[in-house]
A and B are shown apart, each in its own frame.
Chain A
Amino acid sequence: MSAAPPARGLSRRALLGIPLAAAAAAGAGFYALLRRMEAGHYDPHAVDNPLVGQAIPDFAPLPAQDPASIGFGSADLRAALHATGRPILVNFFASWCVPCRIEHPQLMAMTGAGIAIWGIAYKDQAADAAKLLGEEGNPYARLARDENGRVSIDWGLYGVPETFLIDRAGIIRGHWAGPLAPETVRDEVSPLLRKYA
């Protein structure tokens, strides 16, 4: 058996080697994928929001959500961006959403650092959202409520929380679905805020 069989179309080496190489390549690919998922660089469920790079969608003023006294619409958002010349984060949240509570300390920290965050309560009971913000602090400079979720759909929202970074020209420059981890704020949100400051 020492001598290899005479070569024909596909040698025995190729017959064994090609599937083996394919399996090894697939394994390496899966390993890289899992590592990136573990490190939080890759989320297979994330949906690329097509609005990134585009102007914020127009929406009529939404009603205020306690404890805010006035709500806001796209015109208010654009006016504030124009007046301050600094980017604004728009954060969609709900009191019934557990990941929103995970992200809450990061929002409080950013507000403490002087970053403007405008909030939209998604399909939330007014009293429930007010209670949450009363207990855990209110990071929002302006706060509105989207009771039936229609404005949120215009933003391409598919869950809460989601956060958008709007530059001073009213263009959406960043989008994060899911709770903002401290690392996400440090590695992604803060650099983008500096870039568009």
Chain B
Amino acid sequence: MIRALVLLIFLAVPLAAAFAISDPAEMLPDPKAEARAEAIGRQLRCLVCQNESIEDSGADLARDLRHIVRQHVAAGETNKEIIAWMVARYGDFVRLRPPFEPLTWLLWASPALALVAGAVIVAFALREKRPPPAPLSAAEQRKLKDVLKS
């Protein structure tokens, strides 16, 4: 019984979050415009929760920003214009996908750099196979025999 209840709670949590964002009162009547607004909103960070997009967040500010995005979409602005409007107020941080610019070159290049670093390590490791140990000298053979005997 308790197990079922806990399961229900865990199932209900993401469900509740999903309902919070698809409040029909917030949506634009035109499904195409609404889809565009959602696509823009998913690229914008909620400044309150910071790791969610404004489409996913239940924060008050995120709701306001969703509303603003829809107003701009309804006014016929392009995605670029709407994102620029947000960046002018909240900086590049508001973009969940950081732009490619000098400050973020290292960030964007990091997967390639990690691959190169890995390749260098593998190349070093493969380059020289350890040579087989030299055969034992006659003196060493005798020593070995003594050790094994004792």
Closest to B90 in A: A156
Contact assessment for A5 and B87 in the assembled complex, using a CB-CB cutoff below 8 Å: no
Is chain B's interface secondary structure helix, strand, loop, or mixed overall?
A: helix
What sequence of 0s and 1s flags, for each residue 38-70 of chain A, a beta carbon within 8 Å of any chain B beta carbon?
Answer: 000000010111110000000000000000000
A8-24 residues with Cβ-Cβ distance < 8 A to B are 8-10
B82-96 contacts to A (CB < 8 Å): 87-91, 93
Chain B residues whose CB sits within 8 angstroms of the CB of A49 once the complex forms: 90-91
B48–A153 touching, CB < 8 Å: no
On chain A, the residues within 8 Å of B127 by CB distance are 8-9
A6 close to B (CB within 8 Å): yes
Of the candidates A6, A9, A156, A158, the one whose C-beta lies within 8 Å of that of B131 is A6
Number of interface residues of A (CB under 8 A): 21
- Knowing A153-B65, A153-B68 touch, does A8 contact B90 (C-beta < 8 A)? no
Give the size of the chain B interface in residues (CB under 8 angstroms).
24
**B90–A9 CB distance below 8 A:** no
Interface residue? B35 (CB, 8 A): no
User: Measuring CB to CB, which residues of chain A are less than 8 angstroms from any residue of chain B?
Assistant: 5-6, 8-10, 45, 47-51, 123, 148-150, 153-156, 158-159
Some 11 contacts from A to B, beta carbons below 8 A apart, are: A8-B129, A8-B130, A9-B128, A10-B124, A45-B50, A47-B93, A148-B64, A149-B61, A153-B68, A156-B89, A159-B47
